[in-house]
Structure 1
């Protein structure tokens, strides 16, 4: 029997680190990894330039502990990959469908990933504010080992050093001012209004995109997790601007 799509509970509350859910299935993937599938999850799966959450899952009676090492979304289902603590070989708990389980997201990792992801979107806003809004946003990479945002179009070499400084100053000014961060799933028309009048071509007009707003700035479509307030990013450093084949990559880091 086909399983119902996993409810992405972090869409509604990006800061919730513990919750309960119902177990739908325990499966073994093609690579031999064990995965738990639940009816809903607060674990963010890897995607959108953001690494997955980690943490652990227990049942309501704490009869087992499943350590979550990786989370992936496929065909509407979220797979929580990991292993049962203190289990060996084929010795794993009997897991019946519908069993209530408790989810625990690793807080330091979630906070770091959210700060990195939010910093990437903040740079999109700064690009507009320093006069580089003509560059079309591309993909972003918000992993700790070298985050960047990418844009279609190039900054002239003679301007790169000045723009790098301007972006960093603008970003830290916005961080110091702060501003509430929110997210909501909206109709296409409502989403367009919040995002400055248009959405990227890859978003279907029949869809209901999730829009993230950083303060009073225009929103952007995003499925990731973010800080509760812009000030939670703490600080941002633009480490490099690299131009290659008509594309601009702005590399950045965040403070401790």
Structure 2
């Protein structure tokens, strides 16, 4: 069955936790897991260093409830993996294509994921502000079990000393001032200008990248979810700053 890419409703509204959609497919995958494919979703799939949303989906005119345990994306199609909680019997219920469904994202998990992801991007800004401008952003891991951001390049040990505290102070100063967080899909040149005049090489010049901007700071390309205001991060603790084998790694935690 030929399917169009799933419309990502969280692209337009990162703080929406409930929505309606249409069922396109319900099946059991090769790994044994049940999955729903919808024409649109507010569930963020795992990717970009951010864990997936969880929650549940209900079916119109039915008592069925599909518990969403994991969400993944492949070739633009979002797969909602989970199980039917109240099927009312041992037989597998039939879910017809075209059924209206209602999506509910777990609020606490979404907020934590968004805070961790936003904190990672805020550290990117602070690295420049504390004089580590020569480091090129690499990958980020914004999961609760040990979040970190990495940068290509190393820092001499004598320069690294003291930077950890400076970085933490700078991050918490920005959090204290706060600032609205916005997301927009923009033409390449406009996106590049918003990001300080350049975008990573992996973004095609013919594309329209989604840009996240934290307050009045330079933006960055990102497909994830974020807080609505920088102050919602609450606080950042830089737990480790180290450089090894051409990579500088900043480990951090957010306050509760």
Q: How would you bin the TM-score normalised by the shorter chain?
A: over 0.9
**Which residue is 2:228 aligned to?**
228
Q: Deviations over 1:88-123 (max 9, x none)?
A: 896232211110000000000000000000000000
**Which residue is 2:150 aligned to?**
150
CA contact (8 A) 1:22 1:39 kept: yes
- After the TM superposition, which residues 56-67 of structure 1 pair with which residues of structure 2 at under 5 Å, given as runs? 56-67=56-67
Q: Deviations over 1:53-81 (max 9, x none)?
A: 00000013342100000000001100000
CA contact (8 A) 2:45 2:71 kept: yes
Q: Distance in 2 between the 1:123 and 1:6 partners?
A: 31
Q: Distance in 1 between the 2:155 and 2:89 partners?
A: 56
Secondary structure (helix, strand or coil) at the match of 1:93 reads coil
CA contact (8 A) 2:175 2:230 kept: yes
CA contact (8 A) 2:63 2:86 kept: no
**Which residue is 2:84 aligned to?**
84
Distance 1:157 1:62, change over 3 A: farther
- After the TM superposition, which residues 1-40 of structure 1 pair with which residues of structure 2 at under 5 Å, given as runs? 1-40=1-40
Indicate yes or no: 2:104 matched with 1:104. yes
CA contact (8 A) 1:84 1:92 kept: no
- After the TM superposition, which residues 1-256 of structure 1 pair with which residues of structure 2 at under 5 Å, given as runs? 1-87=1-87, 91-256=91-256
Q: Distance in 2 between the 1:192 and 1:91 partners?
A: 54
Q: Distance in 2 between the 1:80 and 1:89 partners?
A: 22
Q: Deviations over 1:156-200 (max 9, x none)?
A: 112323100000000000000000000011111110010000000
Unaligned stretches of 5+ residues in structure 1: none
Q: Distance in 2 between the 1:199 and 1:4 partners?
A: 28
After TM superposition, the runs of 4+ consecutive aligned structure 1 residues lying more than 3 A away are 86-90
CA contact (8 A) 2:52 2:72 kept: yes
Query: 1:86 deviation in Å?
Result: 3.2
Q: Distance in 2 between the 1:82 and 1:171 partners?
A: 38
Query: 1:87 deviation in Å?
Result: 4.0
Secondary structure (helix, strand or coil) at the match of 1:184 reads strand
TM-score using structure 1 length: 0.98
Unaligned stretches of 5+ residues in structure 2: none
CA contact (8 A) 2:54 2:106 kept: yes
CA contact (8 A) 2:64 2:86 kept: no
